Amino acid sequence: MKMESSDKVKYVLWFAQEHVNFRAADIESVASIFNIEVNYHTEISDVPYCIVELPSEKEAHLLASRCISLRSVLELWGHGKTNEELHNSIQQTPKDRMYPHFVSEKSFRLTVETFCKSLSMKEKVERIESFSYLPIEGNVNLKDPDVTFYLLEYFGQDSNNIPEQPYELFFGRWVADGQRSLIQKLSLKTRHFLGNTSMDAQLSLLMANQAKIVPGSLVYDPFVGSGSLLVSAAQFGGYVSGADIDFLMIHGKSRPVRPNQKVREKGESIKSNMQQYNLSSKYVGVLVADFARPLWRPDVRFDAILTDPPYGVREATFKVGSWRGPDIKPIAEKHLPHHIPAKVDYDLQELMRDLLDFAANHLCMGGRLVFWLPICREEYDEEKSLPKHKCLRLIYNCEQVLSCHSSRLLLCMEKVKEPVTKEKTPPAELTSTTRFRHRYFGGKEQKE
């Protein structure tokens, strides 16, 4: 993260206070997609704002066109820790930046927004009137103004101890909103086809950004389930495909998960989800397949792999096999069309090894693998708990806390070189992952 200071135009990134650990990866990934140089004047942290310098307003619009963590982007005209500092800062801002927006031909609105404190209408009006020295000539338009000015006040994050005066104040011109509206558009509440592990729309979109999905990207999910990740990838222009060992889920015949729904509606499927969002043209298709067994030709390449592997909590981890080992009677040819292969447990460490090997072999150079890994928080050690591969470099590690003792990490890895051998990588000793199911279910012993 490059930190610089200059007299160039600065912008305020105003964040939603949700999935805080993911916002830096979101901004940096989108900046990388559009090749935007972002100079940070404050670090991205747990506070809901960050001051940055961008080459131009065009880049601000590009960031906002993809970022899920952003509420809005403002051109910064004033900043201070007190009202006096704020107004002095505004008066020192070059007039050629502000005055073109004060002309009579442009209607305006001044919005007061606070963080961690609610203001009465009287207090808001008093704050608006404090800007009466600005030579704004246009008419007020509260519904659809040509220009929107924002006063942002930050009162900290302790709702039980709110100060009388804000810690930070910002004033500027609204430039663009982030893509928070997509969260509502793709909400699982209105999704046609759901499964037990359908990924939350916001997290799916964040994953798609970290994977740097762009129009034309070829995207694959090897544990596709109900296809939530495919929806978000397709929303950003990717051509999506996937596979899963669960025959019933792939064919929309699994048990419904919505309350009071006893049978699936006609046509429920991953394809129907794509049709729901007018994304059918981006849908390549899905397959019933065992990830532990090779499926694709060696020369098949994907631009990104997005997945949420099963880890035995809401969905079992299975692969095709039998506890009888090699002593299995062959299936008669007449039974093959209706035969469902037996399954055995798919050890999570083995699954992770296979996933990283698959990504190393089937990602394009520079392509990204984005996936979830469960951990026991008290046993987590970044050196020992994360899977590694000689062909993949860890880019981001974002934590989502699930409980006091468990979390899941969203890992983003980038392919940096081609594998030189077809030998599989040995399973990593993932200490906190190995015991995840044991700790998650309250210490109950797992069956062998």
Identify the pLDDT of residue 228: 97
Residue 122 inside a domain? The answer is yes
CA torsion through residues 389, 202, 405, 443, sign: negative
Radius of gyration of the chain (CA): 26
**Concatenated DSSP letters for 122-191?**
HHHHHHHHTTTTS---SPB-SSS-SEEEEEEEE--S-TTS--SS-SEEEEEEEEEE-STHHHHHT-GGG-
User: What is the total count of domains within the chain?
Assistant: 2
Cα–Cα distances in angstroms (integers) from residue 10 to residues 40, 52, 73, 173, 363, in the given order = 9, 6, 10, 11, 37
User: 190 and 170: one domain?
Assistant: no
Of the residues 129, 153, 179, the one at which a domain ends: 179
Residue 53: beta bridge partners? 10, 39
Q: What is the DSSP letter of 209?
A: H
User: 114 and 229: one domain?
Assistant: no
User: 256 and 148: one domain?
Assistant: no
User: 235 and 367: one domain?
Assistant: yes
The C-alpha atoms of residue 218 and residue 282 are separated, in whole angstroms, by: 9
Residue 448 inside a domain? The answer is no
Q: What is the DSSP letter of 100?
A: G
Q: Do residues 184 and 65 lie in contact, with contact meaning Cβ atoms separated by under 8 Å?
A: no
CATH of the domain at 66: 3.30.2130.30
User: 158 and 189: one domain?
Assistant: no
Query: Terminus-to-terminus CA distance in the chain, angstroms?
Result: 47
Element (H, E) at 242: strand 239-244
User: 35 and 117: one domain?
Assistant: yes
The C-alpha atoms of residue 386 and residue 396 are separated, in whole angstroms, by: 12
Residue 3 inside a domain? The answer is no
Q: What are phi and psi of 64, to 5 degrees?
A: -65, -25
pTM for the predicted model, two decimal places: 0.90
Residue 445 inside a domain? The answer is no
Residue 301 inside a domain? The answer is yes
User: 322 and 401: one domain?
Assistant: yes
Identify the pLDDT of residue 123: 97
Q: Do residues 147 and 36 lie in contact, with contact meaning Cβ atoms separated by under 8 Å?
A: no
User: 86 and 190: one domain?
Assistant: no
Identify the pLDDT of residue 250: 93
Residue 168 inside a domain? The answer is yes
Q: Tell me which residue range forms the domain holding 78.
A: 10-179
Identify the pLDDT of residue 329: 66
Of the residues 114, 148, 179, the one at which a domain ends: 179
User: 411 and 332: one domain?
Assistant: yes
Q: Do residues 392 and 418 lie in contact, with contact meaning Cβ atoms separated by under 8 Å?
A: no
Which residues, in sequence order, are CB contacts of 132 under 8 Å at separation 6+? none
CATH of the domain at 283: 3.40.50.150
Which own/partner contact pairs does 288-291 have at CB distance under 8 Å and 24+ positions apart?
288/243, 288/244, 288/245, 288/246, 288/247, 288/250, 288/251, 289/243, 289/244, 289/245, 290/245, 290/319, 290/320, 290/341, 291/222, 291/223, 291/243, 291/245, 291/319, 291/351, 291/354, 291/355, 291/358
User: 138 and 192: one domain?
Assistant: no
Residue 340 inside a domain? The answer is yes
Q: Do residues 231 and 186 lie in contact, with contact meaning Cβ atoms separated by under 8 Å?
A: yes
Amino acid at the residue 188: L
User: 216 and 274: one domain?
Assistant: yes
Q: What 3-state DSSP class applies to 246?
A: coil
Of the residues 179, 210, 236, the one at which a domain ends: 179
User: 75 and 158: one domain?
Assistant: yes
- Displacement of CA 143 from its chain's centroid (Å): 31
Per-residue pLDDT tens listing for the chain (448 residues): 554 444 579 999 999 999 999 999 999 999 999 999 999 999 999 999 999 999 999 999 999 999 999 999 999 999 999 999 999 999 999 999 999 999 999 999 999 999 999 999 999 999 999 999 999 999 999 999 999 999 999 999 999 999 999 999 999 999 999 999 999 999 999 999 999 889 999 999 999 999 999 999 999 999 999 999 999 999 999 999 999 999 889 999 888 888 888 888 888 999 999 999 999 999 999 999 999 888 999 999 999 999 999 875 556 676 776 655 555 567 777 666 666 677 677 788 889 999 999 999 999 999 999 999 998 888 888 877 899 999 999 999 999 998 888 899 999 999 999 998 766 666 655 555 555 555 555 554 444 3
Neighbours of 244 (CB within 10 A): 25
Identify the pLDDT of residue 5: 42
Residue 256 inside a domain? The answer is yes
Q: Do residues 385 and 433 lie in contact, with contact meaning Cβ atoms separated by under 8 Å?
A: yes
Identify the pLDDT of residue 261: 86
